[in-house]
Each structure stands twice: as structure tokens, then as C-alpha cells.
Structure 1
Amino acid sequence: MDWLILLSLIVFGALLIMLEVIFVPGTTIIGILGLVFTALGIFHAFSNFSATIAYGVLLASGAINIGFIIYGFKSGVWDRFALKSTVEGRTYDDRLIGLEVGQKGETISDCKPYGKIIIGDKIYEAKSQGGFISSKTNITITKIENNKIIIKP
């Protein structure tokens, strides 16, 4: 009966570690449970068997678990979870093309300090240089920096 308990704990612990490494990497709860069951098996071996058998169980379970971990890393399972591409595009890169300092326009909403302006037939978001600017006010662009339009009445 002691052998059955010992083998059950060691095998179940090793299977949980294999499950963690190969099928659900990064979960850690399953891996920790695997280590707990393996440790309980080793403790059971030291409690109920001779030191020679207990050390043999310790070495065998350690080799099995380390083997599963090495196999998990070599199998490429981690590649499924790794980011391999980068985003090359950027948002609003060409949004301000055609705008220049000194251009005139009109606010179509209150700027407190941010609001909507219209220049030509395009609508932009802008920041007022001096604070509040009410709707339907003529404005001038004073700065264009870091993809922001700075205006004044």
C-alpha cells in the first residue's frame, strides 16, 4: 500500500508539472500543485522507506520533473505565447498635413482648453493657448507641436 501511495503522489505531481509546462504555461497554480504532490511523495518515501529508497525516489522524481521542464522549453510551446510581430503603423501621422502656423479658422465648440475647430473643410481638435474660447470664434494657429494644434482667438 505504501508503494501505491508513493507512486500515486509522484506520478500525479509529475503529470501536473508536465501539464503546466506543456499545455498551460504561465498558470503556475497547476505547477505549484505538481510540486506539492511531488514533495508529499518524497516526504512519504522518507517517512516509510529506507534512506536508500527515499534518496532514489528523490533523484528519480527530480529527474522526471526537470526532464518535463526541459522538454517543455525545447518543444516550442512558449513560442505560441510570445509576441513575434510589432505594430509599424501610427495613429494620426498625417492628420496635420497642410496645416501651418498662422492659418485662420473657427471654433465649432467651446475650447476649455480643448475643443473642435474647423479649418477649410476639415475638423480638428485643438488646444487654446490662453484658456477658454467660445464657439463660433475666429482663431489663428500659433503652434503645431507633438501632433497638437495650439490656437488663440
Structure 2
Amino acid sequence: MLTIALLLLFGLLFVAVEVVFIPGTTVVGVVGFALLVVGVWLGYRDLGTPLGHYALVGVTLLAGLIVYVGLRPKNLARVALTTTNDASVQDVRRPDVVPGTVGQTLSALRPAGTALFGTERREVVTRGEFVPAGSAVRVLGIEHNRILVAVV
């Protein structure tokens, strides 16, 4: 009797964990369902048909209640992502550093590095020449998502 009660209890706990904490079909839900099936089957085998019926009806009602309470929209809203991401990125089709802008290198360009244009730090690249840090550079253009610069 204790074995059957523990199987049913752990089966219901696993189903509750599956519905509330780990939504989706995972191992926890399958194991919980298997424990419930084995517990009800053992209830019929060891305790007889009337008590097996009680176990089956009780497990069905409790599992249904767990699923109903766990899948209510109010409870799902607690674990669902409801915020929106309104961040933006710099798009190369609308560059903020236009050709002809003069800046200063913050690192050595070998041939890529960092340059400062006004207050904006940008990754830049040269045509292949090395430029020491602190040199003045001019933007030649934007090619394939890279800012192309040359020494002034």
C-alpha cells in the first residue's frame, strides 16, 4: 500500500514540476506519467478493483487539476517573457561616420584598429598600411560593413 501511495505521490509531483516549472514534453513529465500508470496498475493488482477505481479517479482528478492550474493564463504570464526589446543597432546603410570625417586613432591600425570620431569609438581598417596610435585619419568610405580610413 505504501509503495502504491508513493508511486502516485511522486507521479503527481513530477507532473506538477513538468507543468509548472519545465513546460513542454520532457523526461520529467514522461517519468511522472509512467509512475502514475504503474501506481494505478499496482492499485488494481494488489488492492482490488474498487480501490483501483478510486486510485484511477483520484489520480485523474488531481492530474487534471494540476494541469488546469498550471496552464492558466495568469500562471503562464509569470514565467512567460512579456517585455519587448526596443534596442537598436548601428546600420551600415545609414552610417553615423560619413566619408570625409576626420578622427584620431586610439590604437595602432595594423591594418585594423580603433579610431575616435568626435566622441564615438569605431572599429576601422586601412587599405593595408600600418598607422601608429594617435595619428589623424580621414574616412574614405564604408565598404562591406567596414569603415575604410587613410592617414591625413
Whether these two folds match at TM > 0.5 is: yes
Ranges in structure 2 where 5+ consecutive residues have no aligned partner = none
Q: Is the 8 A contact 1:25 1:78 kept in 2?
A: no
User: What is the Cα deviation at residue 84 of structure 1?
Assistant: 0.7
- Partner letter of residue 133 of structure 1? F
Q: Map of 1:98-113 to 2, 5 A cutoff?
A: 99-113=97-111
How far apart, CA to CA, are the structure 2 residues paired with 1:147 and 1:122? 20
Cα gap change, 1:75 to 1:9, in 2 (>3 Å): farther
Cα gap change, 1:89 to 1:19, in 2 (>3 Å): closer
Cα gap change, 1:86 to 1:57, in 2 (>3 Å): same
Question: Cα deviation per residue 1:11-65 (whole Å; 9 max; x = unaligned)?
Answer: 442244335434x344956545533432331231243244575466445423421
2:130 is matched with which residue? Answer: 133
1:44 is matched with which residue? Answer: 42
How far apart, CA to CA, are the structure 2 residues paired with 1:123 and 1:69? 53
Q: Map of 1:1-153 to 2, 5 A cutoff?
A: 2=1, 4-22=2-20, 24-26=21-23, 31-50=29-48, 54=52, 57-74=55-72, 76-90=74-88, 97=96, 99-119=97-117, 121-122=118-119, 124-135=121-132, 136-144=134-142, 148-153=146-151
Cα gap change, 1:10 to 1:88, in 2 (>3 Å): same
How far apart, CA to CA, are the structure 1 residues paired with 2:116 and 2:124? 13
How far apart, CA to CA, are the structure 1 residues paired with 2:6 and 2:106? 74
Query: What's the Cα RMSD here?
Result: 3.6
Cα gap change, 1:66 to 1:106, in 2 (>3 Å): same
TM-score (norm 2): 0.66
Cα gap change, 1:37 to 1:29, in 2 (>3 Å): same
Ranges in structure 1 where 5+ consecutive residues have no aligned partner = none
Cα gap change, 1:14 to 1:52, in 2 (>3 Å): same
Number of matched pairs: 146
Q: Percent same amino acid among aligned pairs?
A: 20
Q: Is the 8 A contact 2:126 2:149 kept in 1?
A: yes
- Partner letter of residue 80 of structure 1? R
User: What is the Cα deviation at residue 74 of structure 1?
Assistant: 1.5
